[in-house]
Amino acid sequence: MARAIITQMISKDPELKLAKEFSNAIPAIKFLNQDTEGADLIFLDIHMPDFTGFDFIQTIRNPPAVVLITSDKNFATDAFEYDCIVDYIVKPITEDRFLKAVRKAKAHRILESAGYATSVAAAPTAAAPIVQDIPEYKPKDTATEFYVNIDRRLIKIEISSVNVVEAKGDYIHIKTEQKNYIVHSTLKKIEEKLPETLFLKVHRTYIINTKKIIDIEDNSVLIGKDVIPVSRANRPELIKRLNML
Amino acid sequence: MEEPNLNYINELAGDDNDFRATLIGVIKNELPTEINEYQDNLAAQNFNAAADNVHKLKHKISVMGMEQSYYLAEKFENNLKSSSTLLQAEFGQLLMAMQGFAASL
């Protein structure tokens, strides 16, 4: 049923082409691991007999963007562990929700091609419509936010509002213009979510938004009220980024 | 008990009568099989397999526009995973209503 609905929705978008649909995970895995044309997006059910969508993702070699389709709301936090999962739709699927997921997949594709996102080894279900030929989009269409998991809530943070990210043990401290967040993650993981044109790792434990620098003095930068250390190794790259007079 | 309806299917299909017929065909075709599998597994006390059947039936429940019944099915699915058949009677009534509705389409 879900496959019939998704297939219909794909057929209404001229920018999408249905590469193949599967009622079983195994031939889908073979297709994705062998097919030379590949696929840009997979609609994947989490719940399959003897196989989960997450198992599926971990079995395919280079997972493209994945939109999870499920009756379970409980897997949302697990889904965000996988960089290739761009959206999570709870059944029944509506057209608006489908279109939103496709928009996210297109944005993901641009970020990935620009090196801002990585495909994570980590997906589908009994039904996996696979889509090819998502067109390249202009940067203005790309996502401008990311989500963090805090106390089982997924909180949206606007990328442009982030001033500094600081690593603190097993956590990162995300400082934005309005609020600060403590998130169980690593500097490396958040670095993969932030555009390189804006953000720079200036120290082993700090990533800064270079647009938010107020001044630079020797081996530190002032951002908001925070003085951030700059390591000797990272200083040349920081200086290179500045629009010096 | 909530009445099954075609609100979701009608909204999804719009003016596309072929698509509407496809979706109704899927319901008429799949529902009896899924219910039989569920009943067989329940009779054999294969609770995890029965929970999987209920999970699959949940989508049909939502497609038939029964929000409250969806939550009933969700609870029953969890009960089955714990080898409990609590809510079995209520879920059975729901399946009968769905079967009757599907047969009338």
Rounded percentage of chain A residues whose pLDDT exceeds 70: 84
**Model pLDDT, residue A49:** 66
Residues of chain A with CATH 3.40.50.2300: 2-132
Backbone angles phi, psi at A177, to 5 degrees: -60, -35
**Model pLDDT, residue A110:** 75
A182: tokens are 């403590």
Of residues A3 and A108, the one with the higher pLDDT is A3
Contact A1 B62 (CB under 8 A): no
* CA distance linking residue A79 with residue A109, whole number of Å: 18
Contact B19 A8 (CB under 8 A): yes
- Tell me the chain B residues in contact with residue A4 when contact means C-beta distances shorter than 8 Å: 22-23, 26
Query: Which has the minimum average pLDDT: A130-134, A159-163, A230-234, B81-85?
Result: A130-134
Residues of chain A with CATH 2.40.50.1020: 144-241
Contact A92 B8 (CB under 8 A): yes
- Which residues, in sequence order, are bridge partners of residue A89? A69
**Model pLDDT, residue A114:** 60
Residue whose entry in the numeric block shows the structure tokens 């057929």: A11
Strand order in the sheet with A220-223: A213-217, A220-223, A226-229
- Tell me the chain A residues in contact with residue B11 when contact means C-beta distances shorter than 8 Å: 94
Cα end-to-end span (Å), chain B: 19
3-state secondary structure A75-90: CHHHHCCCCCEEEEEE
**Model pLDDT, residue A132:** 59
* CA distance linking residue B19 with residue B26, whole number of Å: 11
* CA distance linking residue A46 with residue B62, whole number of Å: 17
CA A151 to chain B, closest CA, distance in angstroms equals: 23
**Model pLDDT, residue A117:** 44
Residue A189 makes CB contacts below 8 A (sequence gap 6+) with none
Residue whose entry in the numeric block shows the structure tokens 């980590």: A122
Residue A173 makes CB contacts below 8 A (sequence gap 6+) with A165, A166, A167, A180, A181, A182
Contact B52 A47 (CB under 8 A): yes
Question: Fold for domain A144-241?
Answer: OB fold (Dihydrolipoamide Acetyltransferase, E2P) (2.40.50)
Closest alpha carbon to B75 in B63, B86, B83: B86
Instruction: Cite the DSSP H helix spans in B1-105.
Output: 7-13, 17-43, 47-63, 67-81, 88-104
- DSSP structure string for chain A: -HHHHHHHHHHT-TT-EEEE--SSHHHHHHHHHH-SS--SEEEEESEETTEEHHHHHHHSSS--EEEEEES-STTHHHHTT-TTEEEEEESSP-HHHHHHHHHHHHHHHHHHHTTS---------S---EEE-PPP--GGGS--EEEEEETTEEEEEEGGGEEEEEEETTEEEEEESS-EEEESS-HHHHHTTS-TTTEEEEETTEEEEGGGEEEEETTEEEETTEEEE--TTTHHHHHHHS---
**Model pLDDT, residue A225:** 81
B34–A contact, CB cutoff 8 A: no
Residue of B nearest to A74 (CA): B74
**Model pLDDT, residue A125:** 38
Judged against a pLDDT cut of 90, whether residue A146 lies above it is answered with no
Contact B62 A2 (CB under 8 A): no
- Categorize the per-residue pLDDT at A131 as very low, low, confident or very high, splitting at 50, 70 and 90: low
Condensed to tens digits (0 to 9), the pLDDT of residues A160-194 reads: 899 999 998 778 889 888 888 888 888 988 988 88
Mean per-residue pLDDT for A231-243?
Answer: 84
**Model pLDDT, residue A143:** 56
Q: What is the pLDDT along chain B (105 residues), one digit of tens a residue?
A: 789 999 999 999 999 999 999 999 999 999 999 999 999 999 999 999 999 999 999 999 999 999 899 999 999 999 999 999 999 999 999 999 999 999 998
Question: How many CB atoms lie under 10 A from the CB of residue A181?
Answer: 16
Mean per-residue pLDDT for A88-104?
Answer: 90
Q: Is 0.90 exceeded by the ipTM? A: no
Given the DSSP bridges, would you call strands A171-176 and A162-168 parallel, antiparallel or unpaired?
antiparallel
For an interface test with B, give the residue of A3, A46, A50, A71 to mutate (most B CBs within 10 A).
A71
User: Taking a C-beta distance cutoff of 8 angstroms, is the pair A86, A193 a contact?
Assistant: no
CA A21 from chain centre, in angstroms, equals 24
- Tell me the chain B residues in contact with residue A91 when contact means C-beta distances shorter than 8 Å: 58-59, 62
B101–A contact, CB cutoff 8 A: no
Tell me which DSSP letter residue B46 carries: -
pTM above threshold 0.90: no
Q: Does domain A2-132 have CATH number 3.40.50.2300?
A: yes
CA B34 to chain A, closest CA, distance in angstroms equals: 12
Residue of A nearest to B57 (CA): A71
Mean per-residue pLDDT for A4-28?
Answer: 88
